[in-house]
Chains A and B, each alone.
Chain A
Amino acid sequence: MKHWRYDTAEDLEQSMIERLKHFPREPDILVYMIRSFAAVCMRAWLRIYHRYEISGLENLPSRGSFVMVANHSSHLDAPCLISALPLRKLNHVFPAAAADYFFQNVPRIWFAAVVVNSLPFGRTVRVRQSLCLCEKLIENPDNVLIIFPEGTRTATGELGHFRPGIGALLAGCKVPVLPCYLDGAYAAWNRHQHIPRPKKLKLVIGPPRIFDQLTPGKESSAALAVELQQAVQELATHHEHHGTHLQNP
């Protein structure tokens, strides 16, 4: 009789923290159950407490990987974007989260890794490695990557400058990018507030763009970042002027 071949998880002998910091993670069904339960609660919370509304859902590709970029003003942003996607995609949605903020202490790591399924992104060190991780992620089929290219929550509520890293990731990439604008999150829970307030949240999802004809390089990256920033800005202004129009085209 041939001996069995065991496929031991690589993170077996790591402590819980190392295991959650490590990416890609190797979760078992317990983690999926906790995450699904949290996702349902999160959706209910957003609907009831924030009267969350989404427009532009028809722009979401039904198959294949894609990237969502959005303005960042609150910790509510990632939950809002995750909640815009169907529940069955939950375990394939990866918001990029600042490694120096979310992967520092135990409750945050646990929340970021188990509940939100985030990808630890190095903003100051190991930026290139983090971009590589993102690239590998979207090369796999049916993954969704959520990025906030401002790199940090806005301090004023205004849309900040998009970092060129997003351009380096997406230039020459066949994966569609969806610019998104989330309205109301700054008023609901900005970085100066301790608890979320019951303000209305609205998400606008823009039409997908593909940047596969761009050749990767410094200039194209910067141009791409500017273009995406404009796209998000346009969604914002359009939303302010024709908010109702966008919902019922």
Chain B
Amino acid sequence: MMSPNAALNDPVFRVYAVVALSLLVFGGVLLGIISRFLKQEMSSIWKTYRSWLIIVPVFFGFMFAGRGPVIVGTTLLGIFGFKEYAKATGLYRDWWITGIVYLGIIAVGLTSLVANPHGGQPGWYGLFMTLPVYIVALLILVPIMENRAKGQLQTLALSIMGFIYIGWMFGHLGYLANDPHAYGYLLYLVFAVELNDVAAFTCGRLFGKHKLRDRVSPGKTLEGALGALAFSMVLPWVCRFSFPHFGVLQLVLTGLIVGIGGQLGDLAISMIKRDLGVKDMGALIPGHGGILDRVDSLIYTAPLFMHMVDYFYNQPG
């Protein structure tokens, strides 16, 4: 179980904390050298780096504080992520609809927090998994109670997408905190997804020739995506200490989930932004955009990863 004490005694947590810290220092030094000797315009990269200097300690702070804080933190990210989505789609004007989705996201957090009434690991797995049923049922009530029909399919579709994708699928990240191997899973997932992003960017810059999906995200290249996939397939072996019980099949699946899912998550949010005609989903994190721009890959990978490990190692009630 995650707690400050367990974090201090957990070798996996310590390794990741040291690696993250060294990456921050290394990145800072590297950026310093590049801007000092190559005299390139770096202000936007520095801005991104400064934000990392805040994100990383906050993330490790929550991880250190334990299971409850991780779930609460994920829920807050979900709430403010949905707020960005609601503002971008115009859904925020509908108080009842957005109110119900916020309640739904809080319910995602609560079902992850409470004990399982059927015994076993903490977290009410059954209700957590069936939440979309109740939230969709509630959402559909709104136009019926208000006796409206015009444009309601759009409102409902947008809100259901918002709840399921941003609230519930992203909420799986918080639910992972209930696993006995929470440190290894959570830290690996977040670490691997971010590195996958970096790998895609770097490979794209170095070898990029063919556009991956030019109408969704014109900057991404096929070479970048393949490079990142190759990188993500190797990473589970390098970080095998995070999940010593994984066999070859699980390691391969982990690589595929992060390598393919991470980039699909990225493309999914890009597609939403393209359709809405906005550049970023918000401006909360300088140099990154909004919350959704930062966690886009995690939304896609967290549930896939959680259900993969559940299938092999836990058979939750």
Contact = CB atoms under 8 A, between A and B. Distances in A.
B90 A8 contact: yes
Interface in B173-230: none
Contact of A8 (B79, B89, B98, B154): B89
A18 B284 CA distance: 11
B282 A13 contact: yes
Which of B83, B87, B277, B281 has most chain A Cβ within 10 Å? B87
Interface residues of A, number: 17
Contacts of B279: 13
Which of A4, A7, A16, A26 has most chain B Cβ within 10 Å? A4
A29 B280 contact: no
Contacts of A4: 154
Given A29-B98, A30-B79, A32-B95, A13 B280 contact: yes
Nearest to B97: A29
Interface in A1-48: 4, 6-9, 11-16, 18, 26, 28-30, 32
A14 B283 contact: yes
A106 to B, nearest CB: 13
Contact of B87 (A9, A18, A32): A9
Contacts of B56: none
A28 B278 contact: no
B102 interface: yes
Given A29-B92, A29-B99, A8 B87 contact: yes
A16 B278 CA distance: 17
Contacts, number: 56
Contacts of A11: 87
Given A4-B154, A29-B102, A30-B79, A13 B95 contact: no
Contacts of B98: 28-29
B252 interface: no
Contacts of B154: 4
A26 B93 CA distance: 9
B92 A12 contact: no
Nearest to B280: A13
A26 B90 CA distance: 11
Interface in B267-313: 275-284, 286
B95 A8 contact: no
A8 B275 CA distance: 11
B209 to A, nearest CB: 32
Interface in B70-92: 79, 83-84, 86-90, 92
A8 B282 contact: no
A12 B83 CA distance: 10
Contact of B92 (A9, A14, A15, A18): A9
Interface in A115-170: none
Given A6-B276, A26-B92, A28-B92, A12 B87 contact: yes
Contact of B88 (A12, A29, A30): A12
A89 B278 CA distance: 33
B3 to A, nearest CB: 30
Contacts of B286: 15
B278 A13 contact: yes
A28 B87 contact: yes
Given A13-B282, A32-B95, A26 B87 contact: yes
B27 to A, nearest CB: 24
B90 A28 contact: no
A16 B95 contact: no
A2 to B, nearest CB: 11
A18 to B, nearest CB: 8
A218 to B, nearest CB: 42
B83 A28 contact: yes
Interface in A39-76: none
In the A-B complex, the 6 residue pairs with the closest CB atoms: A7-B90, A28-B92, A9-B87, A15-B283, A29-B95, A29-B99
Interface of B: 79, 83-84, 86-90, 92-93, 95, 98-99, 102, 154, 275-284, 286
Interface of A: 4, 6-9, 11-16, 18, 26, 28-30, 32
29 contacts: A6-B88, A6-B89, A6-B90, A7-B89, A7-B93, A8-B87, A8-B88, A8-B89, A8-B90, A9-B90, A11-B87, A12-B84, A12-B88, A13-B278, A13-B282, A13-B283, A14-B283, A15-B283, A15-B286, A16-B283, A18-B283, A28-B83, A28-B87, A28-B98, A29-B98, A29-B102, A30-B79, A30-B83, A30-B102
Given A29-B92, A30-B79, 9 more contacts: A6-B89, A6-B90, A8-B277, A12-B84, A12-B87, A14-B283, A16-B284, A26-B87, A28-B92
